Structure 1
Amino acid sequence: MMPLSEVPTGKDFRIVAIQGGRALAVRLAGLGVTVGSEVRSLINNRRGPMLVLVRQTRLALGRGLAARIMVAPVEAASQGDSVGAGR
């Protein structure tokens, strides 16, 4: 598990946790970013905002926000118990 802000460009991950409380989780859910969703890192230059693809929608996320979204590679996440949550 790692923060979304640290993932390499062009790779697919599954969201396994959102850190930061209910208000943040609700805000992200409105954008389609929920636990169990797959996310692809489109642009991550390790500084400034990053661009991701979630549910066929491109989103620009600030680094602080992306650091609160915990992800795992799709292969590893599919072996976990909590992956189906939020689907």
Structure 2
Amino acid sequence: MMPLTLVSSGETNVIQRIGGKPEVKKHLEHLGFVVGSEVTVVSSIGGNLIVNVKDARIAISKEMAAKIMV
């Protein structure tokens, strides 16, 4: 298991765990980041990520991405 920040562009992984405070988990869940769903890193710019999750393209900060374990 590793944080989403270490995943290479174009690589698809399954979300194993989401860390952080309850409100952070809830926010990520509303964006589509739920345990068991697939996430693909589209690109990484300065550590911030653009990812595909549940047929949507979402930009997240490196702090948020570090809480998502794949």
Distance 1:50 1:25 in 2: 17
Partner of 2:67: 68
User: 5+ unaligned residues in a row in structure 2: which ranges?
Assistant: none
Partner of 2:32: 32
> Max radius of gyration: which structure?
1
- Which runs of 4 or more aligned residues in structure 1 lie more than 3 Å from their structure 2 counterparts after TM superposition? none
Q: CA deviation at 1:48?
A: 3.8
Partner of 1:75: none
Distance 1:65 1:51 in 2: 12
Q: Does 1:53 align with 2:15?
A: no
Tell me the alpha carbon deviations over residues 51-77 of structure 1, each in whole angstroms, 9 at most, x when there is no partner.
Answer: 000000000010011011000xxxxxx
Distance 2:3 2:40 in 1: 13
Q: Does the CA contact (< 8 Å) of 1:44 and 1:51 recur in 2?
A: yes
Task: Quote the sequence identity (%).
Answer: 39
Q: CA deviation at 1:38?
A: 0.3
Letter in 2 for 1:61: I
Normalising by the residue count of structure 2, what TM-score does the alignment of the two structures yield? Answer: 0.92
Q: CA RMSD in A?
A: 1.0
Partner of 1:22: 22
Q: CA deviation at 1:21?
A: 2.6
Q: Does the CA contact (< 8 Å) of 2:5 and 2:47 recur in 1?
A: no
Q: For this pair of structures, how many residues does the alignment match?
A: 70
Tell me the alpha carbon deviations over residues 15-38 of structure 1, each in whole angstroms, 9 at most, x when there is no partner.
Answer: 000110321111111111111110
